[in-house]
Structure 1
Amino acid sequence: MARSNYIRAEHGKDRVTNVEVAVRDGNSKVDRNARFLVTPVLYISILVGAVLVASTYKLRIDGIFACPADGYTPDRYLAYCAAARYGDYEHGAFWFGLEPSVLGIAARADAMFLGDSRTNFGFSTDSTARWFSAASARYYLLGFTYGENVSFTGELLRRSSLQARIYIIAVEFFERRETIPAKDVMQNPGSYFRYEVKRFWQRLHQTICGTVPAICRDRTAVYRSRQTGSYSLNLGRWTGGADNPPVFYDREIDQEKIKGYVASGREFLSRLPVSRDCIILTTIPTIRKNAYSYSPSVDTASAVANILGLSFVAPHVDVLRTYDGSHLDRPSAERWSDAFLRVAGPQMQECLGKPLA
């Protein structure tokens, strides 16, 4: 029979407990006191492991790990992840200055684009980048998801000393409606901490899923450029727009919208430090009945521009398609933005050479 060995733990001169480790016939045994100590440790270990597994599962289903991490670059951050417990980041990033450089970069742009996510997707193209590169000018797309409008973006711009010499504004930007993320960041004191946590998770997301992509899932993700505000889209598994019909240019005239947009537009435009001939209104083609937020018809938007005494450019390009029933897909956005810049380009060039008013 093998000899028993004793390990004694002592505190000062008083023995605290004995743990007998007996080795007999190749089996280890511990006494009752040892079991009393080991059982809680084992229980806690199992509990912690279960919590970690559950947390990881939730992150992959409802959190940031539900989205792919392939869009990060030194210039791009995650603006939106289509997961229930992540969703919007860009509103908080701008409002709380979590991406410290972006609002300053936007304020220093020579050309400013204002609207919602349809505007951003419509001009997040190589055509736009090439035009401004050729003009040796900087541009910034200051559109936001959730159908954002002047109620939020206008307040952002109040904080900045704008240097833009030309403004391209989607008419629906003049909507005055409080969106869910705008209300959250502007009115909820607890939202700052939550957006800080979202920013922290992006670092882990980029590191972990950038190293092992299989850890993350394939929900839709929108990445945003710090330098231009342009969007980069990863649709993931989304295929909902595959059967969408081409955009439709209807002729509806909405007098109530015209009245509201004109009043809102006059108030906002009075604060811009440029002459009226350096403000161009537009509207982005979409399938209006499917659009996530209200989109005016070309005739409604044109009427607003006419009353405000502003240029209106919205080229009719055939067979444009959306990826989701609302936003132009990338090939369509390339064609439409190229057509827009061909028409508006001469006016924009002239304004870029003018000093601020």
Structure 2
Amino acid sequence: MTSTGLFAARPAIYACVVLTAACVAFGYQIRTQTIFSCPADGYSADRYLAYCQGASYADYEHGAFQFDLEPAARDFAGNADVLFLGNSRLQLAFSAAATVDWFSAASARYYLMGFLYYENVIFAEELLRTIRPRARVFVINVDDFFDRSESPPVKTIFHDPEARHKYEGKRFWQRIHQPICKALARLCGTKFAIFRSRETGAYYAAGAAQRKITPVSYDQIVSQNVVDSNIAAAIDFLSHFAQDKCVILTTVPFVDTKIGNANAIAVGVGAKLVTPGFLEGLQTYDGIHLDQPSAERWSKAFFLAAGSRIRSCLEEQGTARPSAHQPVSQ
């Protein structure tokens, strides 16, 4: 090749190199930051992707409920006989065979309406206003639930005028992600993901979660300021949303479980905290959530402790319901 020809070819070669680098960088970003950074093996006719650890995808479940993007999920939540409220600790603890078995034996419907991001009463109130559930029993995980602070997804939903559009986009990408990553799994990443049942709200975890196996522990100290603010929020919540419900308060254990605060909050609203007690050998997989074997043990023990009261509430057809200021206890 002459020097003139080589010179003429250099811009084209340079452009090809730049284009190739850009494509590689773009592909890397898609596989590490978007929905394609997560696996698709949790999808089913009943389950959708609630959360993907890819930074540009993250939460979907909040918007799915707020904007009615998964109508079946809201319908099942509204028609459940027992509604569970709380954060992701509640979700993972009760996403267990023990829960399915107990409600199957009781011929009753349940829905786990907890959320990631340490979700609390602010978002629950918003959903209950619109869903208007027929549930006769609320099981509430006291841990953090009565804190009145807006989580990152709730800030987006409440204050970003583009929030609906963003969540609709996330729903759209699931329709592409599911067939591609199921058929060609190697093209997609293995970041941590949570799939959610439309029928029961139960979680199904997939991908590579950060593992830090740590035993459950308990903190008996009472933080009076926290307790006082939580009691005030609890009384307000129960007076507006649980006047005709049986209310059972519990706390799912983790590392440094604030059991002192939980007991004090329950007493402050006129209840006894319903838990299985201090079960030996429970552990978390990340310091925050029970691992699967521990979730099975804890949830099974919970229904032994609370089951008779839940059944009693479910059988109270046409009778007076407990006062919102007098949640039921064992």
Same fold by TM-score, threshold 0.5 exceeded?
yes
Separation in 2 of the partners of 1:184 and 1:73?
Answer: 28
1:327 counterpart = 2:296: no
* 3-state SS of paired residue (2:286): coil
Separation in 2 of the partners of 1:50 and 1:96?
Answer: 39
Closer, same or farther: CA 199–44 of 1 in aligned 2, 3 Å: farther
* 3-state SS of paired residue (2:71): coil
Q: 2:306 aligns with which of 344, 347, 350?
A: 344
Q: For residue 291 of structure 2, what is the amino acid of its counterpart? A: D
* 3-state SS of paired residue (1:312): coil
Separation in 2 of the partners of 1:195 and 1:49?
Answer: 32
Q: 1:247 aligns with which of 216, 237, 255?
A: 216
Mapping 1:74-223, distance limit 5 Å: 74-171=45-142, 172-223=144-195
Indicate if the aligned counterparts of 2:231 and 2:269 stay in contact, CA closer than 8 A.
yes
Mapping 1:289-308, distance limit 5 Å: 297-308=258-269
Aligned match of 1:354: 316
Separation in 2 of the partners of 1:217 and 1:162?
Answer: 38
TM superposition shift of 1:43: 11
Indicate if the aligned counterparts of 2:86 and 2:114 stay in contact, CA closer than 8 A.
yes
* 3-state SS of paired residue (1:84): coil
TM superposition shift of 1:175: 1.0
Of 92-101 and 306-315, more deviation after overlay is shown by 306-315
Indicate if the aligned counterparts of 1:166 and 1:274 stay in contact, CA closer than 8 A.
no
TM superposition shift of 1:85: 0.8
Q: Deviations over 1:31-63 (max 9, x none)?
A: xxxx9xxx99x9999988776554332110111
Q: For residue 293 of structure 2, what is the amino acid of its counterpart? A: P
* 3-state SS of paired residue (1:173): coil
Q: Count how many residue pairs are aligned between Structure 1 and Structure 2.
A: 308
* 3-state SS of paired residue (1:140): strand
Closer, same or farther: CA 54–100 of 1 in aligned 2, 3 Å: farther
Separation in 1 of the partners of 2:232 and 2:309?
Answer: 25
Closer, same or farther: CA 193–55 of 1 in aligned 2, 3 Å: farther
TM superposition shift of 1:306: 1.4
- Unmatched tracts of structure 2, length 5 or more: 1-7, 322-330
Aligned match of 2:225: 256
Indicate if the aligned counterparts of 2:38 and 2:207 stay in contact, CA closer than 8 A.
no
Aligned match of 2:29: 58
Indicate if the aligned counterparts of 1:279 and 1:311 stay in contact, CA closer than 8 A.
no
Indicate if the aligned counterparts of 2:192 and 2:206 stay in contact, CA closer than 8 A.
yes
Indicate if the aligned counterparts of 1:298 and 1:314 stay in contact, CA closer than 8 A.
no
Indicate if the aligned counterparts of 2:39 and 2:207 stay in contact, CA closer than 8 A.
no
Separation in 2 of the partners of 1:89 and 1:189?
Answer: 17
More strand as a share of residues: 1
Closer, same or farther: CA 136–45 of 1 in aligned 2, 3 Å: farther
Separation in 1 of the partners of 2:82 and 2:24?
Answer: 48
* 3-state SS of paired residue (2:65): helix
Q: For residue 279 of structure 1, what is the amino acid of its counterpart? A: V
TM superposition shift of 1:337: 0.5
Separation in 2 of the partners of 1:137 and 1:159?
Answer: 23
Q: TM-score normalized by structure 1?
A: 0.81
Of 328-337 and 45-54, more deviation after overlay is shown by 45-54
Indicate if the aligned counterparts of 1:165 and 1:274 stay in contact, CA closer than 8 A.
no
1:269 counterpart = 2:238: yes
Mapping 1:220-239, distance limit 5 Å: 220-236=192-208, 238-239=209-210
Aligned match of 2:273: 312
Identity %: 45
Q: Deviations over 1:90-145 (max 9, x none)?
A: 11111111112211210110000000001101111000010001101000001000
CA RMSD of superposed structures (Å): 2.2
Q: 2:253 aligns with which of 269, 275, 285?
A: 285
Higher relative contact order (CA 8 A, sep 6+): 2
Indicate if the aligned counterparts of 1:165 and 1:355 stay in contact, CA closer than 8 A.
no
Separation in 1 of the partners of 2:66 and 2:26?
Answer: 29
